[in-house]
Amino acid sequence: MRQFTRREVCSGVGLIASPCLLSSCLSEKIISSPDKGKESDILWAYAPLDPDTTAERAYKYYYEGHCMYGVFKSIVSQLAELKGQPYDSFPFYMMRYGAGGVAGWGSLCGGLNGGAAVAGLFTKTEEQRRLLIDELFRWYEKTELPLYVPKKAKLKMEMARSVSNSILCHTSVSKWCKASGYRAFSDQHLERCACLTADMAKMTVEILNSNFQRQFIAAHSLSEEAKTCNFCHAKGGEREDSVTKMNCSACHFALGSGHGK
Amino acid sequence: MRQFTRREVCSGVGLIASPCLLSSCLSEKIISSPDKGKESDILWAYAPLDPDTTAERAYKYYYEGHCMYGVFKSIVSQLAELKGQPYDSFPFYMMRYGAGGVAGWGSLCGGLNGGAAVAGLFTKTEEQRRLLIDELFRWYEKTELPLYVPKKAKLKMEMARSVSNSILCHTSVSKWCKASGYRAFSDQHLERCACLTADMAKMTVEILNSNFQRQFIAAHSLSEEAKTCNFCHAKGGEREDSVTKMNCSACHFALGSGHGK
């Protein structure tokens, strides 16, 4: 495989055109930590990718290793093909663990876990990482999904859409089952998650591209509901006993009528 | 760095003693997938590690990059030091994304996310991966934690313990805040999560060691409560509209009295 030089990486050879590519090469630096200088602490550089190509790959990879694997591999494999090491040394198969909210536990949606891992791989600071992950997660909570329509669908079907109001696989799947009438673990459910995987990979790349080009502006903010709850429960609140940015009503659907008064 | 030969890896040189080390060298094979043969699909071999040493590392690494990073790096960095490539090529800094249930979202506990990623890295089949992750997650849900007492504590304090009844960071932290009287985001909360990170790393290694030695037997099973709910909602049930193995009452604390009748 042809190795790209640093100049080629910075000028975006083989990647989509961008007027601001040079500006973000600053990100390819050593992270300051007690292990400063070790190979495992050198930040891997991102370079803009085509969102639609990424979505197509993610759809295909879903059927190879599920949701987390699909999102992560669809993005990092493109850089591996373009740039070789260190990207192609990544053990992609590892990401199969995120399937079904991690090994079927229904916790964090695997596609979001994969997208967040990609953001972790290509961001330097905690603040930057949080900004990008917040955008991906809030978009997922609020958007009627899936949007992606595969060119060659594994399963021909009328695809129902639903809003999850949650980043958890369990809630997201149950909401879609209700909207579509299909059962969990059915072929239709898998096809829905394959399309959703494509959506999340595409959104992750769109966020990373705009961040790379220093044009990232968050389009989604904390829900009004979560703001109300966080007023007392989050950092600085009267109770200060909670760590979360999730929509509260996805679980706390039956608080006592006197709560918060 | 000294590179270990395949024979040394298989005989456990530099690692803890094990009568069954040879038996698991079978796991170092190509995973069957459409990418069969690519470097990124070769299973990385595990070799038994000392659980207490791992716990100490995880406690230290927590203060470097939080919970997911702490668990993952405490395990894989030992193999990197013993065996070099490919372990030391892993971009450990990426795992910082899991902090606080992924970037402070309070979803899956970062230590569990890190432990599950390690299980994903060192297991070959979906069934094997699920068995090991199920054990780690169920132990976490049911056990009064943290257990670890650091040799050189970052913060001297009387450590309260709590049972999370959940794998979610948000629930786990709030339960501990209630049990301890300390606030979320306090130094005491961070010290608690550092000790918990050590516990999860130790448990992950104990599970992986026994799996490596072909002596793994699950000690924890699905809760009776979850079994009751899954009777209708999980695969094969009348409703079949849910994907989860989490304890249901951690979120569904106020179901109508007629539910399930």
Chain centroid to Cα B207, Å, comes to: 9
The Cα of B185 is separated from the nearest Cα of chain A by a number of Å equal to: 7
Instruction: Determine the residue among A27, A168, A241, A249 to mutate to test chain B binding: the one whose Cβ has the most chain B Cβ atoms within 10 Å.
Output: A241
Cα–Cα separations (whole angstroms), residue A158 to A142, A149, A182, A189, A192: 22, 10, 11, 12, 10
The answer to whether the CB atoms of A244 and B112 lie below 8 A apart is no
The answer to whether the CB atoms of A107 and B246 lie below 8 A apart is yes
Q: What are A49-85's pLDDT values in tens digits?
A: 999 999 999 999 999 999 999 999 999 999 999 999 9
Q: Who among A34, A170, A173 is closest to B246 (CB)?
A: A170
Whole-number pLDDT of residue B166: 95
The answer to whether the CB atoms of A38 and B88 lie below 8 A apart is yes
The Cα of A43 is separated from the nearest Cα of chain B by a number of Å equal to: 8
Report, as an integer, the average pLDDT of A124-138.
96
pLDDT > 70: percent of chain B: 82
DSSP A58-85: HHHHHHHHHHHHHHHHHHHHHHHHHH-T
Look up the ipTM and state it.
0.85
Query: How long, in residues, is chain B?
Result: 261
Using a CB-CB cut-off of 8 Å, the residues of chain B touching A92 are 35, 40-41
The answer to whether the CB atoms of B108 and A102 lie below 8 A apart is yes
Instruction: Please report which confidence band the pLDDT of residue B28 belongs to, taking 50, 70 and 90 as the band edges.
Output: very low
- Domain locations along chain B: 6-32+41-212, 222-261
d(CA A79, CA A44): 10
Q: What are B244-255's pLDDT values in tens digits?
A: 898 888 888 766
Compute the half-sphere exposure of residue B177: CA atoms within 13 Å on the CB side of its CA: 21
The answer to whether the CB atoms of B89 and A92 lie below 8 A apart is no
Q: Structure tokens of A45? A: 């550089």
pTM (predicted TM-score): 0.86
d(CA B94, CA A119): 8
d(CA A23, CA A113): 28
Alpha-carbon torsion (B224, B228, B233, B235), positive or negative: positive
The answer to whether the CB atoms of A185 and B243 lie below 8 A apart is yes
Rg of chain B over Cα atoms, rounded to whole angstroms, equals: 19
Report, as an integer, the average pLDDT of B113-137.
97
d(CA B72, CA A8): 33
Using a CB-CB cut-off of 8 Å, the residues of chain B touching A91 are 40-44, 86, 90, 121
d(CA A97, CA B19): 29
Using a CB-CB cut-off of 8 Å, the residues of chain B touching A34 are 64
The answer to whether the CB atoms of B80 and A108 lie below 8 A apart is no
- Per-residue 3-state assignment (H helix, E strand, C coil) for B81-135: HHHCCCHHHCCHHHHHHHCCCCCCCCCECHHHHHHHHHHHHCCCCHHHHHHHHHH
Using a CB-CB cut-off of 8 Å, the residues of chain B touching A241 are 173-174, 177-178, 183-184
d(CA A69, CA A58): 8
Pick the closest to residue A201 from A18, A17, A57 (CA basis): A57
The Cα of B23 is separated from the nearest Cα of chain A by a number of Å equal to: 22
Q: What is the dihedral of CA B34, B37, B39, B41, to 10 degrees?
A: 40
Cα–Cα separations (whole angstroms), residue B201 to A90, A105, B72, B126: 22, 20, 8, 21
Compute the half-sphere exposure of residue A226: CA atoms within 13 Å on the CB side of its CA: 20
Using a CB-CB cut-off of 8 Å, the residues of chain B touching A102 are 108, 112-113, 116, 133, 137
Cα–Cα separations (whole angstroms), residue B76 to A168, A215, B46, B104, B174: 28, 36, 9, 24, 30
pLDDT at B218 over 60: yes
Residue pair A12/A46 in contact (Cβ under 8 Å)? The answer is no
d(CA A139, CA B104): 16
d(CA B80, CA B2): 10
Q: Between B21 and B87, where is the model more confident?
A: B87
